[in-house]
Amino acid sequence: MPRRGTPMFPDGTGPAADPAGSHHERRIRSFQPRRSRVSPTQADALRRLWPTWGLDIDGLSRIDLDAFFDGLPVVLEIGFGMGEATAQMAAADPDTGILGCDVHTPGQGNLLGLAERNGLSNIRVANGDAIILLREMLAPASLAGLRVYFPDPWPKKRHHKRRLVQPEFIALAATRLAPGALVHCATDWEPYAEQMLEVLSAEPTLENLHPGYAPRPDFRPLTKFEGQGLDKGHVVHDLLFRRRDA
């Protein structure tokens, strides 16, 4: 590990510590950047693969998704953890690109390593704030789907404002979804599930594919956080909404 204050990946050899810098407003965020405990294997994957498969969310230019994913339809996954479930979904559906957005450096390196070892050419990793990615760097109607699996529930009432799934976030994300695009959220925190259902149902451009919560779809693998929740006796809720055609 580099000394405190020293860039972990200098000269663009890996994800930047604060890619958006001062280009965009400071606000309450739904995430806490974590860059510690990067293993040598993860660091090696980042240094070798980041220039080709990685993207810093600096908010300065729009991404050409067709070029970045060789013409595949693209699903945005926000918060992929260590990337095991993401890699499984990419392997099961090679005709869909997955743009995984996270700020956890070990997870970024782990997912890139999984992609390389399993020959998964349909994975890209974005580092930074998903709000800036959606607002500044993705074109309208450019996404084939949005996945938010087990986001931080911020259980204390005073922290609820930090939750990702809020009306403003969903309204923004909906503008980046192509007609027919699928929005898939999952959580094991009951109050957050209720908030997700309320927020998604209130967005006029989305329609619920089920009366309330959805059965867990076959394409979503069991995630680490899901397993931890189940071990604690939590009930997992899936929500499946679709972008309306008009």
Distance CA 31, CA 8 (A): 20
Q: Which of 66, 152, 188, 245 is catalytic?
A: 152
**Which of 184, 205, 204 lies closest to 196, judged by CA?**
184
Q: How many CA atoms lie within 13 A of 81 on its CB side?
A: 17
- In this structure, the number of other CB atoms found within 10 A of the CB of residue 67 comes to 8
DSSP state of 75: E
Pairwise CA distance, residues 28 & 21, whole Å: 15
Read off φ and ψ for residue 97, nearest 5 degrees. Answer: -85, 145
E strands, 3-104, are 54-56, 74-78, 97-102
Give the 3-state secondary structure of 122-141.
Answer: CEEEEECCHHHHHHHHCCCC
Active site residue 66: no
Alpha-carbon span 73 to 96, nearest angstrom = 5
Active site residues: 152
